[in-house]
Amino acid sequence: MIHLKDFSIGFGSRTLLDKVNTSFGKGQLTALIGRNGSGKSTLLRAIAGLNRQYSGDIILDGKDIRSLTPDRLARSLAFVTTERTRIPNLRCEDVVAIGRSPYTNWIGRMQDIDRHIVSDAIRSVGMEGYAGRTMDTMSDGECQRIMIARALAQDTPVMLLDEPTSFLDMPNRYELVSLLRTLAHEKAKCVLFSTHELDVALRMCDSIALVDNGALHHLSVTEMVKSGHIQRLFSSPDLSFEELLWKNRK
Amino acid sequence: MRTRASFLFIVLAALTLFLFMLDLSVGAVAVPLRDVWAALTGGDCPRTTAKIILNIRLIKAVVALLAGAALSVSGLQMQTLFRNPLAGPYVLGISSGASLGVALFILGAPLFGMSASFASLGIAGAAWIGAAAVLIVIAAVGHRIKDIMVILILGMMFSSGVGAIVQILQYLSKEESLKAFVIWTMGSLGDVTLSQLYVLVPAVMIGLAVAVITIKPLNLLLFGEEYAITMGLNIRSSRGLLFLSTTLLAGTVTAFCGPIGFIGLAMPHVTRMLFDNSDHRILIPGTVLTGASVLLLCDLVSKLFTLPVNAITALLGIPVVVWVVLRNKSVTA
């Protein structure tokens, strides 16, 4: 689905990723992990077409994303950023309906099929009861779900999410990631999300991409645990990973 | 939902029409509404009355109608584009930029030996260039514009800067052009001549037509530029269209009516509250109607008490701005 070819990117004068080659496949839930400032967001933004300052290629479904028009890219890839979006006076169903933009006409007129997809999207994030409410009266977790429903309405084979779990408490975190897993497995989407929650990543994802000083280690969860990368990168004198990793090996 | 919007559109359209007629009937000589209607539709009424309505008052009422609509739509575009509830043509300094253009034209041209002819297109052109220049500066610092403080400070600096340049120009100018300029700065809907109207009407109409094309981009921009791009927005062309539209709308009105504050800032908020919606398919026609009717109302009040229209728009607009600021505090706190 997504192939990175000799992909290098930096931030200012710092190189964050150097000549990375990997791919993220259909029907796979991948967690992107790494220390603060390691380049997780930068990578996601580059794949989403928001940062073009990279060398190498990002190939989406066989095509270089640089060759895709914004409209075409929006039909292939949906992105949920860390930005907390709360638009007053806009009902949740209207927020989700904006996700249909790549398919609607110049004024955004919805057809029956669009309305159908919007209500499906709202249902699959479990927010049917909120369709008529506005986001300024909702919790962070609820808003996050609506923004994911919006990305779902975009009906794209690829979905990227930047730290979708960071405002959520533990039950909500697990619920959200299991929702992403269902989407990846049942709708055969390629879902890639960045996170700081190692436990969630190890327990719920198919593979893990670890940003490590310019390299990107992309392995299945079991291989990642065996490789020792996580212990090396995240351990501190106060924290032992042996126990956590052992517990998570299913 | 649909029924509420339709109902409001009908009420607002009727209100605008009524205020338009009322604006024609009020003045030094009161004309009954029945005669106003007759004069407009070519019906039976005294010939002097028809003359007063058609030759004198009609121009001013049309200007109020269009200026109100234009400033409000421009304010809505800026508020959504910069995601800042306090944006508007006046606050952002777009009106100041237009003023500077006009000042340079009226005061500056004679200094260089050119005749400051009040050719309507010249004034409008100068205002468009000034407005567009300010928009380009704002766009250049655009990533910081989300901060309300930054925008207010920038707007203040623009206005002060323009004020200083205008003072220098005034100091150097001849009495004749100075007088023309001072009258212009007072802001008036009534000084527009018929030949200026021939520039104002098409310019505002084109501005509004472009605004209709920007409805879908504006809806996407509610989510911020990055989200808008990932949902397929071509940001360059959309921003270009929005700037073109705002330049035509705010620039033209400022050129011919002088700086009129608060309408552009306040009316989008009033419209959002009335319709309880942020969808621009409703907000654009909605602000056209609220802006037009409120500026007609301001014109009526200014005629009844012989006050400058600027003062009335400020007195009406300030409570709205205070309300927006207070409400915004409670959201972020």
Question: How many CA atoms does the CB half-sphere of A212 hold within 13 Å?
Answer: 16
How far is it, in rounded angstroms, from Cα A170 to Cα B103?
A: 62
Cα-Cα-Cα-Cα dihedral of A138, A144, A146, A149, to 10°? -170
Q: Give B309-313 contacts, CB < 8 A, sequence gap 24+.
A: B309/B187, B309/B188, B309/B189, B309/B260, B310/B186, B310/B187, B310/B258, B310/B259, B310/B260, B310/B261, B313/B260, B313/B261, B313/B262, B313/B263
Question: Lowest-confidence range among A82-96, A101-115, B107-121?
Answer: B107-121
For A11, the token pair is 């931030």
- Residues of chain B with pLDDT > 90, as a percent, come to 44
pLDDT of residue A228: 87
The mean pLDDT value for B273-293 works out to: 96
pLDDT of residue B119: 65
Across residues A215-233, what is the average pLDDT?
90
Residues of chain A with CATH 3.40.50.300: 1-61+158-250
> Does the pLDDT at position B192 exceed 90?
no
Core vs surface per residue A198-230: b (16+ CB within 10 A) or e: bebbbbbbbbbbbbbebebbbbebeebbeeebb
Confidence of residue B20 (pLDDT cuts 50, 70, 90): very high
pLDDT of residue B331: 46
Most confident of B1-15, B42-56, B115-129, B287-301: B287-301
- What is the β-pairing status of strands A54-60 and A63-64? antiparallel
Global confidence as pTM: 0.91
Helix, strand, coil percent values for chain B (each to nearest 5): 80, 0, 20
Q: Which CATH class is domain A1-61+158-250?
A: alpha beta
Q: Which residues 89-108 on chain A approach chain B with CB closer than 8 angstroms?
A: 89-90, 94, 98-99, 101-102, 104, 106-108
- For residue B247, the model assigns a pLDDT of 93
| Torsional sign, CA B277, B279, B281, B284 | positive
User: Between A87, A89, A107, which is nearest B281 by CB?
Assistant: A107
What pLDDT, on the 0 to 100 scale, is given for residue A246?
59
How far apart are alpha carbons A185 and A179 in whole angstroms?
10
The CA distances from residue B278 to A105, A147, B283, B287, in Å, are 19, 17, 7, 12
pLDDT score, position B201? 96
The ipTM (two decimal places) reads: 0.92
- Does residue B145 carry a pLDDT above 70? no
Q: Which of B215, B230, B273 sits opposite A74 (nearest CB)?
A: B230
Longest dimension (CA), chain B: 63
**Which of A8, A35, A19 is closest to A235 using CA atoms?**
A35
Asked if B72 and B84 count as a contact pair (C-beta separation under 8 A), the reply is: no
Distance CA B272, CA B275 (A): 5
pLDDT tens column, B247-268: 999 999 998 888 888 999 999 9
**Rounded to an integer, what distance in angstroms lies between the CA atom of residue B328 and that of residue B333?**
9
Nearest CA-CA distance, residue A146 and chain B, Å: 13
- Number of C-beta neighbours around residue B141 at 10 A: 11
Looking at residue A242, its pLDDT comes to 61
Band the pLDDT of A54: cuts 50, 70, 90: very high
**Å from B234 to nearest chain A CA?**
6
Residue of B245, B265, B248, B272 lying closest to B313 (CA atoms): B265
Domain holding B244, by residue range, is 2-332
Residues A137-170: tens digit of each pLDDT: 888 888 989 999 999 999 999 999 999 988 788 8
Q: Out of A101-115, A205-219, B158-172, B205-219, which region has the weakest mean confidence (pLDDT)?
A: B158-172
Q: What is the mean pLDDT of residues B284-299?
A: 97
Q: How many domains does chain B have?
A: 1
